[in-house]
Amino acid sequence: MADGKPSRTTSWFPLYAEKTREVKKALDNITLSPFNEEQYHRFFRGYVQDPMMSSQPFRYNREQIDNSYRYNYGGYQKGYAHYGIFLNNEPVGSFQLKRIDPEKQTCEFGIILQCDRYKNRGIGTEAVRIGMEIARTDFCVKTIYGDTMGRNIRMKRVFEKLGFELTETVHNAYQLPEGGYEDRLIWKKQLEENC
């Protein structure tokens, strides 16, 4: 590691806590930063399962959320970096960089917003934009991938707005809560080199 930046040719993925800054970037009152335990619980106490993803309502369970927090922030998920999405310092979403591969300089991302009140307002788009910058600057990622169901119009718009390219359609990849199947759309974006 030179100048605190990871080498591209060595296995460098450090413990999660070493690679995560307290507050990443703020644009229009939207920030990405690690959840503390109280914020994590507050996010999930207000979480409403998107019916597009599951017909089962989410039920907050303190013990399950404690376990989830320890899993995400206890160093158990090597190659993952987990952030809260905050609007005016309130937790409104969750963003993950997943399967970070320092050799290939690639990763995937995942995002969820707490409930419909935070959708269609540009919050998700801005969170993905900030997350891409984190991937590029903190993890030397050159290529980032994301996926969504074919019927998730909002997420398809986010990909399009941010310049992602649709690279693959996996037919009937998701079983739907109401029965039937949905396609999985895989998107890719090349990031500017930073490392």
pLDDT along the chain (195 residues), means of 10: 35 38 55 96 96 84 96 83 95 97 97 95 95 96 96 95 98 88 97 85
Q: Indicate the domain borders of the chain.
A: 16-146
In the three-class reduction of DSSP (H, G, I as helix; E, B as strand; rest coil), residue 74 is classed as coil
Burial label, 49 (beta-carbon count in 10 A; 0-12, 13-18, 19+): middle
Residue 28 confidence (pLDDT): 62
Q: Is 25 in contact with 32 (CB distance < 8 Å)?
A: yes
Residue 9 confidence (pLDDT): 29
Find where tokens 């800054």 sit: 21
Q: Is 182 in contact with 176 (CB distance < 8 Å)?
A: yes
Q: At the fourth CATH level, which superfamily is domain 16-146? A: Gcn5-related N-acetyltransferase (GNAT) (3.40.630.30)
Distance (Å, whole) CA 28 – CA 41: 24
